[in-house]
Amino acid sequence: MERTKTKKLLVGNPNQLEVDGQIGEDELSYVVMNLPFGCNYSCSKCYREDNKSFDSIDLDKRLEVISQAKDLGARVLCIPGEGEPLTNRDLTMQLIDHANAVGLISILYTNGSFLNPDTIVDLFNKNVTLITSLDSLNPETYLKLTGFKGFDRVMRNLENVRETYKAGNRVRENGLIETRWGVITIINQHNKGEVPDIKRFCGNDAFFICNYPINKGGAKSVWNSYVGTPEDLTELVRTANMYTDTPVAGLSAPTRSGQCIMLNNGITIDTNGNAHACPAMVDTNLGNITNTSVLEIWQKTREYTESKGNPLCLARDIKQYCKKANILSVGEMLI
């Protein structure tokens, strides 16, 4: 099956920013901010399992970071959470309100379980791009992968997201469909056959992101059953690349060249103030925002990335993208 170029743009994602000329080669574009750990799921794939953090920098410092990042040219506040961001709803909304006030797009990742109709409308009215996790359309598989028993509730919530967020969709003159809703699926041996169905579920309403697991945290203990051999991983990557709306699979926010914008054009601030190379590289420490400016963190992030050879993704060890074969070079596995 050959991939066709996606006709969808996700607001705040690199594919929209690049189309609109809003990304510079060495410019800060993203400020990524984790929240104190809280999660109502027990996903076996969770890369934060060994690195949960309960400490938190104060609100004023968080708002200061957002403002400083904006002054340096950032366009997007990304809240991937450390667990589920909406377990810290008040803090999440305060950050989004401030980002909105200074002119940043907010991107919020969520498992969808807390998205009641009022919350969905609130997020939509605050110009939030919503990326909801959906690893299976089968209740039994969903439970196996997430440990969460509220599958029916989540699916109702996602349909409510669809209905509310449709109002923000628009078709541009060039035919591209602009949306503020994304769906992210982590492909594995338990759900690989469902990926085409999840893509169809998205339709033209949601931008589809298909990634594969990171061998960190909890995923290490289930890697053999979840992923399998290097050859099995290669096949998962190929399948993900067939269906993802991103230029390449394995990254939630890749540029056209395949480079992760969070790594190459972003700073990541963990809940305790430590700066990481990206949200998944929690074992890197590039300073702490309580005693280091955003500019210094940005400079250290660039220096660190350059010292690693400017890879596409450090967490998944993606070194290069083979456009001809439409595959990623994961370590030394794929050429």
Verdict on whether the full-model pTM lies above 0.95 = no
Q: What is the pLDDT along the chain (335 residues), one digit of tens a residue?
A: 444 456 899 999 988 998 898 887 778 999 999 888 888 898 877 765 555 566 688 999 999 999 999 999 999 999 986 789 999 999 999 999 999 999 999 999 999 999 999 999 999 999 999 999 999 999 999 999 999 999 999 999 999 999 999 999 999 988 899 999 999 999 999 999 999 999 999 999 999 999 988 787 778 888 999 999 999 999 999 999 999 998 877 777 777 777 778 878 889 998 889 998 877 777 788 899 999 999 999 999 888 888 877 666 655 655 444 433 344 444 433 32
User: What torsion, rounded to 10 degrees, do the Cα atoms 235, 239, 240, 243 define?
Assistant: 170
Q: Are 285 and 274 in contact (CB under 8 A)?
A: yes
Give the residues across from 211 on adjacent strands. Answer: 186
CA-CA distance, 70 to 68, in Å (whole number)?
5
Show Cβ contacts of residue 216 under 8 Å, excluding neighbours closer than 6 positions. 47, 50, 280, 282, 315
